[in-house]
Amino acid sequence: MLTPIVLLWHILTEVGSIIENCGRLGAPMPKWFKARVDQYKEAIDKLQEGGEPETEIGEEKVE
Q: Which amino acid is at 50?
A: G
How many Å apart are CA 37 and CA 31, to the nearest integer?
Answer: 10
Report pLDDT digits (tens) over 7-53.
878 887 888 888 889 889 999 888 888 888 778 778 777 777 776 65
Give whole-number Cα distances, 4 to 7, 19, 38, 44, 49, in Å: 5, 22, 23, 16, 20
**Element housing 46 (H / E):** helix 31-48
- Amino acid 38: pLDDT: 79
pLDDT of 1 higher than 80? no
pLDDT of 63 higher than 80? no
